[in-house]
Structure 1
Amino acid sequence: MLERFGTRIQIALIAAMALAGAWVFLQLPEGSQVPVHFNAQGEADGWAAAGLGLFMLPVLALGLLALQWVLPQLDPRGDNLRKSGKALATIWLAITLLLALVQAQVVAMSLGLSGPAPRLPMLLMGGLFVFMGNVLGKLRSNYTVGIRTPWTLDNERVWDQTHRFAGKVFVVAGLLLVALSMSPLPPQWQAGAICGTALAAAAVSVLKSYWLWRRQRGGT
């Protein structure tokens, strides 16, 4: 039920992204360019032709939607992916929502309705981490989504314990990024803060998976 609802919301978001892009495309003069990349200050520093820049994110979101249907067929543990439907639906929806919010910023800046948004990247990534962290513990063992180390893939109990732990780590990491987005942190430090927080959360989760695996095997 939740999976179907999440898919409908994704389709609605993708349609809204595409329609907004088409509407802006018709408003702009021929040969116009739109922002497609932003620096640490939230200023546009990369541009593309309107036909590409306004539809790149909707196409990416559509590809993500197609990938959801293909992955269970390709993954050797596809049945576990199907059993993780609710958790995966939350993750896919969170990523699609992030893409939709970035598309909204591109549309607004293309029309001159919005200026730089230096806090937006950190806030969006923090929110994504919180969403993902809340459902990581519900993922079943698979080869495509989650903390896929040799140790979690070797032992389902290690997978479950690692993902419950990693879920808490990523929620904390997300809340930290949200808090930093509201702090006087200099904009030029934000990219480093996002990357550092993500890498630290991933590294701690990977190390935890190895420690749990060693413990399962009676190691020290």
Structure 2
Amino acid sequence: MNTRHRFALAGSFVVFSAMVSVIAAPELPDQVVSNWNAAGEPSGTMSKSLALGLMPSLTAGLLGLFAVIPRIDPLRANIAEFRTYYDWFVVVFASYMFLIHTGIIAFNLGYEFDFVYLILLGAAGLFYYCGVVLTHANRNWFVGIRTPWTLSDEVVWDRTHALGGKLFKLTAILTVVGLLFGEYALYFFFVPVVVTAIITVVYSYYLYEQIDRNGSVSSDSGL
């Protein structure tokens, strides 16, 4: 399977989303539930026409952007080296968007389930694969943990992404564990996400400063 095939697979989720919209349209109310609070209770609505078209259109637009990025990045040759992982991320992302869209439609058709749990479970899968991509990503301007320090030094990029990949996977695991804790489940996602962001930024700065002072990174500075 090459890049064209993988993007075609991702695009099929847009087609499936559009088909779901067309099939469900006659049965949906004029106002569709589109927001939920931490307890899984509906907290906002949008018009049926917007709800039917938003996710398919947004996904299609983002797939177009994902297709362009490897062509316009000044370090496009580096993206080419992990292109398979990049392409599969696009497929995983498209499937996640399809999950959200289908979940919204199903909920408004009267199927009973905790929508927040559905989103968190999908997010766990997405974040786990992000961790996979990070461990294979070479330095570029669009994909990965892009701080001034990772973009300035190849070693800092590699070490930060090795750590970031582990933290993203850990976030995914904690998110799944959080599903056992009811209304606190969201905290098992958002807190690790924030902590991961802070750690990777600080770690990349620390590594860069160590190289700047010592000319190399000591073996005990990585995790």
* Fold similarity call, TM over 0.5: yes
1:56 offset after TM fit, Å? 0.6
Q: Which residue of 2 aligns with 1:218?
A: 213
Q: Work out whether residues 156 and 204 of structure 2, in 8 Å CA contact, stay in contact via their aligned partners in 1.
A: yes
Identity %: 29
What is the CA deviation profile of residues 170-216 of structure 1, one whole-angstrom value per residue up to 9, with x for unaligned ones?
Answer: 111111111111x1x231x3333322110111211122212222232
Q: Between Structure 1 and Structure 2, how many residues are aligned?
A: 215
TM-score normalized by structure 2? 0.87
Q: Within 1, Cα distance between the matches of 2:119 and 2:109?
A: 20
Q: Which residue of 2 aligns with 1:13?
A: 13
Q: Work out whether residues 33 and 42 of structure 2, in 8 Å CA contact, stay in contact via their aligned partners in 1.
A: yes
Q: Does 1:117 align with 2:115?
A: yes
1:2 offset after TM fit, Å? 4.7
TM-score normalized by structure 1? 0.89
Q: Which residue of 2 aligns with 1:78?
A: 76
Gaps of 5+ in 2: 218-223
Q: Work out whether residues 152 and 159 of structure 1, in 8 Å CA contact, stay in contact via their aligned partners in 2.
A: yes
Q: Which residue of 1 aligns with 2:185?
A: 190
Q: Relative to structure 1, is the Cα distance of residues 2 and 130 closer, same or farther in structure 2, using a 3 angstrom cutoff?
A: farther
Q: Does 1:205 align with 2:200?
A: yes
Q: Within 2, Cα distance between the matches of 1:107 and 1:194?
A: 24
Q: Within 2, Cα distance between the matches of 1:3 and 1:46?
A: 39
RMSD over equivalenced CA pairs, Å: 2.0
Gaps of 5+ in 1: none
SS of the equivalent of 1:114 reads: coil
1:153 offset after TM fit, Å? 0.4
What is the CA deviation profile of residues 26-55 of structure 1, one whole-angstrom value per residue up to 9, with x for unaligned ones?
Answer: 3346xx121222221223222111111011
Question: Quick one: which amino acid aligns to residue 114 of structure 1?
Answer: E
Q: Structure 1 stretches (4+) deviating beyond 6 angstroms?
A: none
Q: Which residue of 2 aligns with 1:89?
A: 87
Q: Within 2, Cα distance between the matches of 1:199 and 1:116?
A: 24
Of 108, 129, 132, the residue aligned with 2:130 is: 132
Q: Which residue of 2 aligns with 1:69?
A: 67
